[in-house]
A and B are shown apart, each in its own frame.
Chain A
Amino acid sequence: MLKQQGWIVPVVGALALLALPAVLTPYTQELVVKIAIYAVFALSLELLVGVTGLVSLGHAAFLGIGAYVTVLAAGDSGGSIPRVAALAVLAAAAYGVFVGALSLRTKGVYFIMVTLAFAQMAYFVFHDTKIAGGSDGLFLYAKPSLGALNLDDKQHLYFTVMVTLIATYALLALLMRSRFGHALAGIRVNEQRMRAAGFATFGYKLAAFVIAAALAGLAGFLLAVKDGAVNPELLSWHESGAVLLMLILGGIGSLRGAVIGAIAFTLLKELFQLDALLGPLAAHWQLTLGFTIIGFVALLPKGLIGLRARLAGVGARAGAQHG
């Protein structure tokens, strides 16, 4: 069962996020927005991987679909925020139903491979066909708005993204505490037993899959609005791999871990690309990243959240020797 963690830290974090613009430069503020969007993306996958135990290697497809539909729906005038966002979320959820219904027929490694393959299918639709700009992607010429709220304004965008992040976090926290969430956790631990207890596990898994897809689509909407450009690479398996990495970096099994993982991963990528820090290796940052991942998974399988417990464990042992 998922331990219920205190609410103090998330609330403090949320307040800090909302206050940050006062101290940030424009470049760093954009970075924080990027991290927040990826945090929403990671949270959506947490529902699948951490809560339900379904390892999906194709989650980026929903991010990409949400982003592309945003650009296509916004058109020349930008459109209204609720309409465009809803379309993006619905499109992602619809593809989630298709992929979920088919891939949940498989288990374990098959599931991983099948989700990857379906993400690749979506990638090819956007990369090869004339639906949307091909490999060069599409551009958002006018950003959506709602009354006075105009996402073209950097401050408005910042607060919209932060509010979305906080709302997603809260939604998932509530979900995890609900009967539905507990059922998902039960499925993760022992699906057979849940079935014996009378739960229609396929339905629950599919529901989790579609919700996760919808939330990823929402992240895609935000990403498209922030960047003003979408590209088929958003659906690539590198993106799917990256979000899984965020989860394992932060620590699987908690919402906090997802957010921390998103922060850590994005910052690591930025750091590894800084000439100032790494010199000639900066151009080959994927090498550094690769080794870091291997090290992390090998040595810190519980992620950054597990780091404290590990250090505490070491300290306690040392203390016991002296005490």
Chain B
Amino acid sequence: MRLLPMRLPSRSKLSLVAAAFCALAAVDAQAQATGPIKVGFMLPYTGTYASLGNMIESGFKLYVQEQGGKLGGREIQYFKVDDESEPSKATDNVNKLIKRDQVDVLVGTVHSGVALAMAKAAKDSNTLLIVPNAGADAITGPMCGPNILRSSFSNWQPGYSTGVVAAQKGYKRAMTITWNYAAGSETVKGFTEAFEKGGGKVMKDLNLPFPNVEFQALLTEIAAQKPDVVFAFFAGGGAVKFVKDYAAAGLNKSIPLFGSGFLTDGTLEAQGAAAQGLFTTLHYADNLDTPRNNAFRKSFALTYKAQADVYAVQGYDAAQMLVAGVNAVKGDLSKRDALTAAMHKVTVDSPRGKFTISAAGNPVQDMYLRQATGNNNEFRGVAVKALADPARGCKL
């Protein structure tokens, strides 16, 4: 076989190793600064959630711009890392922001699995973290902390409010279907809790691995069991396919389909006729006719030449929360306790409506019922008022 006698490592190998270390050390050295506040975005800039990542960042920067471009009188330095929505790379990625770039505030992310890793790293290093989307219950549950806040929702919230609506409509037997990951199972749990409290029973939970979209066998199973209603949680491309497949299998004619808002958010155009009449609940509706929302949507459209969506609102509100905190301590981030206390006490004047923050760091907000009409999710009423996530497992 190929075995070679070797007494000393070759020079070429050693110099390669040395060069590599030098390169890394050089990057390391950059990460020291005083003066500007360092905000680190860890968002999906590529991949299936890329548009969400961009919307969040745009919303955040819009608010900062409206405040004059400074936080508490200090300049801002932005850092960005693309998390690719990959939980397996999350720890490495967040460490780049925390340890290499040494940011003061972490903002991210979309995917719940990645956000969990971020929350853990933020907890370990006591970095301030604002989550502008990921709904993982654990972030304001067992992993909660005074330095971890969320400007979006917990997976439980839209699931619960849809369950309330479904039970109110008198359905008794339900089946759920979703991907086998945190966002899916937690949303379904919320639905089940409300639905069964309202007198119904969830017969069977169907799921398939993320991001698989071969629903055929499971749709057949739904047809076999004949429930009164089906609750589905999917997002993005999966949501489009599911709604279309559900209609293609003829099930939408006999078994009503309910979903968390993400089933129809941003996907109505692709879903077309298959989605018409679908009921969903979410903490936002595009055509919410309030002065605040109208002003926000106009400002966003003028700045970015695009229509705002729920993700832009969440990014915008993340900035609101941060500014409230930084202003309260007049830019002195070392006064961490006062900073986080102020952020928890603020009433955010959001385009979605005013909301407060729970002790665990999650928004306490109204959940709206929407129905898919044409290309919009039209506001149909308030499903649940001021819904607070139960924050199970949070020791705050």
Contacts and interface: CB of A to CB of B under 8 A. Distances in A.
Whether A and B touch directly in their complex, counting CB atoms under 8 A apart, is answered as yes
B124 A228 contact: yes
A134 interface: yes
Contacts of B142: 141
Interface string B12-31: 11001100110111111000
A307 B8 CA distance: 12
Contacts of A254: 3, 6
Contacts of B91: 227-229
B13 A252 contact: no
Given A136-B112, A253-B3, A274-B23, A263 B10 contact: no
Interface string B156-190: 00000000000000000000000011100100000
A283 B82 contact: yes
Interface string A110-151: 000000000000001001100001111101010000000000
A232 B180 CA distance: 13
A138 to B, nearest CB: 10
B95 interface: yes
Interface in B137-160: 142-143
Interface in A1-50: 2-3, 5-6, 8-9, 25-28, 30-31
Interface in A245-283: 251-254, 256, 260, 263-264, 267, 270-271, 274, 276-277, 283
B241 interface: no
A231 B3 contact: no
A276 B181 contact: no
Contacts of A2: 3
Given A135-B180, A136-B182, A304 B10 contact: yes
Contact of A136 (B7, B116, B143): B116
Contact of B24 (A5, A28, A234): A28
B210 A256 contact: no
A25 B28 contact: yes
A305 interface: yes
Nearest to A31: B24
A204 B92 CA distance: 39
A260 B13 contact: yes
A276 B180 contact: no
Contact of A139 (B3, B6, B9, B120): B120
A271 B180 CA distance: 34
B68 interface: no
B6 A305 contact: yes
Contacts of A134: 180-182, 185
Interface residues of A, number: 55
B201 interface: no
Interface string A199-240: 000000000000000000000000000011101111000000
A75 interface: no
Nearest to B113: A136
A276 B112 CA distance: 30
Residue from the set A30, A128, A256, A302 with the largest chain B CB neighbour count within 10 Å: A128
A30 B99 CA distance: 10
A270 B87 CA distance: 18
Contacts of A135: 87, 113, 180-181, 209-210
B5 interface: yes
A137 to B, nearest CB: 6
Interface of B: 1-10, 12-13, 16-17, 20-21, 23-28, 46, 82, 86-88, 90-91, 95, 99-100, 112-113, 116-117, 120, 124, 136, 142-143, 180-182, 185, 209-210
25 contacts: A2-B3, A5-B6, A6-B7, A28-B28, A133-B182, A134-B181, A135-B181, A136-B116, A136-B136, A136-B181, A228-B120, A229-B91, A229-B116, A229-B117, A231-B113, A253-B3, A260-B9, A264-B16, A276-B23, A277-B23, A302-B2, A305-B10, A306-B4, A308-B6, A308-B10
